[in-house]
Amino acid sequence: METINQQVKQNQIRTWWVLVGFVFLIAVIGFLLGLIFAYQSDPIDLKIPLYTTAGFLIGAAIYTLFVYLSVTNILMKSSNAHQLHESDDPTLFNIVSDLSMAANIPMPDIYLMDEKAPNAFATGRDPEHAAVAVTSGLRQMMNREELEGVLAHEISHIKNYDIRVSSITVALTTFIAGAGAVMIIAGISMIRGGNWMGIFGDRDDDSKDSRYLWIAVLTFGLIVWLGGWIIKIIGVPIAQIMQFAVSRQRESLADVSGVNLTRDPQGLIDALELLKDDATPMKNAEAKGAALYINEPTNKHGKTPFIVKMFDTHPPLDERIARLKRLLGE
């Protein structure tokens, strides 16, 4: 059986493959869009796809760096969480402090989400710039042993650098989605501009250039609009599949790593049992950090957000509980 260190190593290898896949996907999107534009010129200029590919990669790198450096603020705002001070909850700070020392990492910032549903997640770019967030529902529901089990799981995400890959993949996925949205909006604007030119432009027989320009703007706008929808319909789901490619493995590994910190599987087992029996919906189940939660969130209709459920980002709680019970020899 693989040791925890060996599993962490395998996780890191999968992470690099996921990142390579993201770079390849962005390059392909840029190249294909460049081909579309290239075929509008006469003769066809094959340098255009190379320029658009380079542009997409540079844009993705800049955007990813921005998100990577500010991911905690982005996800905490998305989750309606506010930062706590030690005087706000000494017990919570004491638990996180003890676990951080056991994991040999700096103590992360602690946030509280105003949510009745019990849940928690970790984020940041590395152990030196990390944060954990818990909902008010989880804080009220669980005793110290159960809360320690949940927080050990989240601290393990930080120690194992799961938060780094989560930050980067969130950034790359939102970049691809944003590029598609911008192209759809730009295409609509061009189509509207072309229509205005057709209505109010000079349409006399001697104004062929005006009509050609009008048709060109409409055609180009339609191409850009279609390209945006292609990215939205095909590119974004592929990016999300890659984003969640190693999520199940990370969750299972964090359970075992967390138990390694507390030396008490029963605490996390009891916590997961409580989460399994709870059906409280989250007010913000579609938050950007929803796929990072220890338990799949449900909305007011009692359903897991489509994108989280479709790609099965978390192993079933029964499976996770059974795995932990095996550590107890049950």
DSSP secondary structure string for all residues of 263-288? S-HHHHHHHHHHHHH--PPPTTTT-T
Q: Specify whether 154 is catalytic.
A: yes
pLDDT of residue 304: 54
Task: Show the beta-strand stretches assigned E in the chain.
Answer: 81-83, 109-113, 120-126, 129-135
> Residue 125 pLDDT > 70, yes or no?
yes
CA pair distance 222, 39, nearest whole angstrom: 14
Give me the catalytic one of 145, 154, 296, 319. 154
Per residue in 19-67, pLDDT (tens digit) is 788 888 888 888 887 887 777 666 777 788 888 899 889 988 898 888 8
One-letter amino acid of 237: P
Looking at residue 143, the DSSP 8-state letter turns out to be -
**pLDDT class for 11, splitting at 50, 70, 90?**
low
**pLDDT class for 301, splitting at 50, 70, 90?**
low
Which tops the pLDDT comparison, 287 or 109? Answer: 109
The answer to the question of whether 251 is labelled as a binding residue is yes
Question: Which residue reads 């260190």 in tokens?
Answer: 5
* Cα–Cα distance list, 175 to 15, 188, 328 (Å): 18, 20, 44
113-119: average pLDDT: 91
pLDDT of residue 287: 62
Per residue in 262-280, pLDDT (tens digit) is 988 899 999 999 998 888 8
User: Any idea where the domains of the chain sit in the sequence?
Assistant: 71-330
pLDDT of residue 34: 81
The answer to the question of whether 153 is labelled as a binding residue is yes
Closest CA to 245 of 174, 160, 313: 313
Q: Which of 172-181, 185-194, 242-251, 252-261 has the lowest mean pLDDT?
A: 242-251
pLDDT of residue 206: 47
| Cis-peptide into 305, omega within 30 deg | no
